């Protein structure tokens, strides 16, 4: 999953990007509202973490402009725990709201929830044959036995599983699983798919030649 973090406080921005990348997310960053809006409009993110108080364009205005064209899930951050602020954010189109200071575990859980809702999944447990993904615990089992995946392998698998029954193009996978600093011309995606098939079964991920991949 690819995320955008829009936050003007340098240490918090760097900390969030680092923590989310350790979770296996591809993460882009913006330090002001104008840059954040440009990136949010230019790419199809799976979710956006958006601070309210930003230079050049505040979070509310950024969100209002974004909602004119896109329904990207947005988790708003604010240092002000006022009901009026939360109502304004939600009415503008935010999917959830988190007050600073916050615990990273709660941030991760809220992001998983809004991403899951955006793909019309109501449960954190995804069952595909003998394979089970727990998107809350970020664990995978096959026939009841735990399967060890790298963070990036898990993200590739989760994205395909959340779009089960659809053909996901290689372009979509690169756009949603790799950030702006990654080399999208490498064969890293093929390596991840190869490793997943080795761990979950050769027929678990199907190749649609000329199109992409799918999980039936």
Residue 154's domain comprises: 125-214
Among residues 68, 102, 118, the one where a domain terminates is 118
Q: Do residue 52 and residue 106 come from a single domain?
A: yes
Indicate the number of domains in the chain: 2
pLDDT in single tens digits along all 216 residues of the chain: 899 999 999 999 999 999 999 888 899 999 999 999 999 999 999 999 999 999 999 999 999 999 999 999 999 998 877 777 777 777 888 999 999 889 999 999 999 999 988 887 767 899 999 999 998 888 999 999 999 999 889 989 999 998 899 999 988 888 888 787 776 556 788 899 999 999 999 999 999 887 889 997
**Which residue, among 57, 68, 58, has the nearest Cα to 93 in the 3D structure?**
68
Do 137 and 115 touch, CB atoms closer than 8 A? Answer: no
Short-list 168, 205, 178, 21, CA closest to 104:
21
Among 118, 138, 166, the domain-final residue is 118
- Which pTM does this prediction carry? 0.80
Last residue of a domain, one of 118, 143, 165: 118
Q: Are residues 97 and 203 in the same domain?
A: no
CA distance 169 to 211: 5
For residue 99, what are the contacts with CB-CB under 8 A and spacing of at least 6? 77, 78, 79, 80, 81
């Amino acid at each position: 999953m690819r995320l955008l973090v829009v936050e003007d406080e340098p240490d918090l921005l760097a900390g969030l990007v680092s923590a989310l990348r350790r979770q296996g997310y591809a993460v882009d960053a913006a330090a002001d509202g104008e840059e954040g809006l440009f990136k949010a409009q230019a790419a199809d993110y799976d979710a956006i973490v958006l601070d309210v108080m930003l230079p050049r364009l505040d979070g509310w205005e950024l969100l209002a402009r974004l909602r004119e064209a896109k329904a990207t899930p947005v988790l708003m951050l604010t240092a002000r725990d006022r009901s009026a602020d939360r109502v304004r954010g939600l009415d503008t189109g935010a999917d959830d709201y988190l007050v600073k200071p916050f615990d990273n575990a709660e941030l991760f859980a809220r992001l998983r929830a809004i991403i899951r809702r955006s793909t019309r999944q109501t449960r954190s447990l995804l069952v595909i044959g003998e394979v089970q993904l727990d998107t809350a615990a970020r664990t995978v089992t096959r026939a009841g036995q735990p399967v060890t995946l790298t963070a990036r392998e898990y993200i590739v698998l989760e994205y395909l599983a959340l779009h089960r029954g659809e053909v996901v193009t290689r372009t979509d996978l690169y756009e949603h699983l790799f950030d702006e600093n990654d080399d999208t011309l490498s064969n890293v995606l093929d390596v991840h798919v190869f490793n997943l098939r080795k761990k979950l079964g050769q027929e678990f991920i199907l190749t649609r030649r000329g199109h992409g991949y799918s999980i039936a």
